[in-house]
């Protein structure tokens, strides 16, 4: 597949979502994109040095603005710029959308299992936003794990989606704070918890998408296989070493 060309894009707005995550809205018209794809971003310094990173797209395909949710990494080359220096009107380079494996479309149907850890929820959020407008009724379970409630990205939006659609089941998992809602959990997402969550849901997923840090993704994928989920239905995307 040919790589799309770099293009200069402008930042439309930056909105704080959690203490370490910000929404970055770009003035960018994407070609036909799929929920779950990502963009490459490139920053250039005055001396010619360039730094490039990939970020999952949080907005649904066809949204008026492209939204990225960028987590601040203190030792990163790119993310601190978005948090500490970038402003609306600043420009950078982007290319994409990129990726064809970790994607979902309403025509794919379900049941659909989504498992996110931390900022790994971002491509899953794009899928859920698309589902909310074009795929309601597809049985879907989102298991979303973070350390604390304040670190759950788009928690209010996800809660509103679940309240408006009984076929969407939402479970927040916090590992360092007690659960706040009935049905939420406050322990690590281990094999036992996965089996319990799947049994409570009552569906066998036709597709499972797992995204997060590498240890999280490996543990969840292994737990899903141990729970009897066909490995061919499990798609993973990870960040970090």
CATH number for the domain including 67? Answer: 2.40.30.10
Is residue 1 assigned to a domain?
A: no
Q: Which tens digits make up the pLDDT trace of 52-108?
A: 999 999 999 989 899 999 999 988 899 999 999 999 999 999 999 999 999 999 999
Is residue 135 assigned to a domain?
A: yes
List all residues 6 or more positions away from 218 whose beta carbon is below 8 Å from its beta carbon: 238
Domain containing residue 159: 106-239
Cα 9 to Cα 11: distance, rounded to the nearest angstrom: 7
Is residue 116 assigned to a domain?
A: yes
Shared-domain flag, residues 86 and 115: no
Q: 141, 123, 147, 139: which is closest to 216 by C-alpha?
A: 147
Is the pLDDT reported for residue 1 higher than 70? no
Judged by DSSP in three states, 57 sits in strand
Shared-domain flag, residues 206 and 116: yes
Judged by DSSP in three states, 156 sits in helix
Shared-domain flag, residues 41 and 127: no
Residue that is last in its domain, among 68, 98, 128: 98
Q: Which tens digits make up the pLDDT trace of 24-33?
A: 999 987 777 8
Q: What is the pLDDT of residue 240?
A: 63
Cβ atoms of residues 55 and 11 within 8 Å: no
Shared-domain flag, residues 29 and 57: yes
List all residues 6 or more positions away from 163 whose beta carbon is below 8 Å from its beta carbon: none
Residue that is last in its domain, among 76, 98, 120: 98
Is residue 126 assigned to a domain?
A: yes
Cβ atoms of residues 221 and 210 within 8 Å: yes
Q: Which tens digits make up the pLDDT trace of 32-54?
A: 789 999 999 999 988 989 999 99
Mean pLDDT taken over the chain: 94
Q: 166-194 burial, b for 16+ CB within 10 Å, e for fewer?
A: ebbbbbbbbeeeeeeeeeebeeebeeebb
Is the pLDDT reported for residue 214 higher than 80? yes
Shared-domain flag, residues 137 and 229: yes
Cβ atoms of residues 202 and 110 within 8 Å: no
Residue that is last in its domain, among 65, 98, 131: 98
Shared-domain flag, residues 65 and 114: no
Shared-domain flag, residues 235 and 117: yes
Cβ atoms of residues 68 and 53 within 8 Å: no
């Amino acid at each position: 597949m040919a790589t799309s060309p770099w293009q200069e894009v402008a930042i439309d707005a930056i909105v704080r979502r959690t203490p370490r995550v910000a929404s970055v809205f770009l003035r960018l018209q994407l070609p036909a994109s799929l929920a779950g794809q990502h963009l490459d971003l490139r920053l250039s310094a005055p001396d010619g040095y360039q730094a490039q990173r990939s970020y999952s797209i949080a907005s649904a395909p066809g949204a008026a603005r492209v939204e990225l949710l960028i987590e601040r990494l203190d030792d990163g080359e790119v993310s601190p710029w978005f948090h500490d220096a970038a402003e609306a009107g600043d420009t950078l380079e982007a290319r994409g959308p990129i990726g064809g494996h970790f994607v979902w479309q309403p025509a794919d149907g379900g049941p659909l299992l989504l498992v996110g850890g931390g900022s790994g929820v971002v491509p899953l959020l794009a899928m859920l936003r698309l589902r909310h407008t074009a795929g309601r009724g597809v049985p879907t379970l989102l298991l979303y794990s973070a350390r604390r409630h304040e670190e759950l990205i788009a928690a209010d939006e996800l809660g509103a989606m679940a309240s408006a659609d009984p076929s969407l089941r939402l479970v927040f998992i916090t590992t360092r704070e007690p659960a706040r809602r009935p049905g939420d959990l406050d322990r690590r997402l281990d094999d036992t918890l996965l089996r319990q969550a799947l049994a409570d849901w009552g569906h066998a997923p036709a597709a499972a998408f797992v995204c997060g840090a590498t240890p999280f993704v490996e543990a969840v994928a292994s737990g899903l296989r141990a729970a009897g989920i066909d490995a061919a239905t499990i798609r993973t995307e990870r960040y970090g070493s």
